[in-house]
Chains A and B, each alone.
Chain A
Amino acid sequence: MDHIEQGLARMMRDSHEDTPYEERHQVRLRVGIRARQRVRTAWMTTGSVLSIAALGVGLTLLASLFAQGGPNGPQPRPVTSAESVTGPSTAHPASTAKGAPLPTRTSTTTRVATTWPGSRSSGQ
């Protein structure tokens, strides 16, 4: 720090004049704090009201979407039920409703199921 910088620091410190904290300062500060408190409360209240409103709108929309989605669910069924009608097996309507290859699978599983007891019986 050279002498100019030292002089600058000294000038800044020496120019300090003692200013007491007066009643008017205190009153002004209290008023400022109360005003800011009111603004903060208003902001928080507005924010809460807006959040609740947004949540309500969101839930209502969601509920209406679900309500619309309910009757749409079984609409593909007539297509599959038509296949099940054309299918040869009447014993498994539920499994045929899922698709065409299923009856073949069920028949193979049935065959396997029948071979196991057969093999057991052959062992016996």
Chain B
Amino acid sequence: MEQSRADEFDRFVAARWSALLHLARLLTGGDRHRAEDLLQEALVKLWFAWPKVAGQAPEACVRRVLVRAAARSARRRWWGEHPVDQLPDPPRVGDETAAVDERTRLEAMLTLLPARQRVAVVLRYYQDLPEQDVAKVLGCPVGTARSLTARGVSRLRRLLAEAVESVE
């Protein structure tokens, strides 16, 4: 019984590890180590909830835990994360491959968003969740989730425009 539970859990983690780590990385604004820590914490919690959620939607459960852990860890002061007006290091043309360049730029921009706005944007545009589900995961009313997403996108829009201007 316990062995089959462990096998099932391992299969799920192995299958979804890459996608979940990418989600964690987006939620933390590209911090790979913090993303691994968050995913680890979320998966440990998932293990104890596994008998209840295995047959339903384990990914939704781990996503919810991940988002809350990301929001919680962003509130801790020692991460030293704070929004600033300008991108710290705007990527220069031709010094890295295009894919890495784009990823770095995206992560740098996401870092500049407040944690809840970042979570709302990632859930809406990467996870493709409807506003109701974003609100449910964030634990807030739909209107608040909509507002967080809109403000996040608006900020990213400005940052993208600035980045393009600085490259030109």
Contact = CB atoms under 8 A, between A and B. Distances in A.
Interface of A: 4-5, 7-9, 11-21, 25-26, 28-29, 32-33, 36, 40
Which secondary structure dominates where chain A touches chain B? helix
A39 to B, nearest CB: 11
Chain B's interface size range is: 20 to 34
Nearest to B156: A8
Contacts of B40: 25, 28-29, 32
B102 A11 contact: yes
B44 A32 contact: yes
Interface of B: 10, 13-14, 17-19, 21-22, 26, 36, 40-41, 43-44, 47-48, 99, 102-103, 106-107, 121-122, 125-126, 128, 153, 156-157, 160
Nearest to B161: A4
B125 A5 contact: yes
Nearest to A36: B44
A19 B36 CA distance: 11
B18 A19 contact: yes
Given A11-B102, A17-B22, A32-B44, A25 B126 contact: no
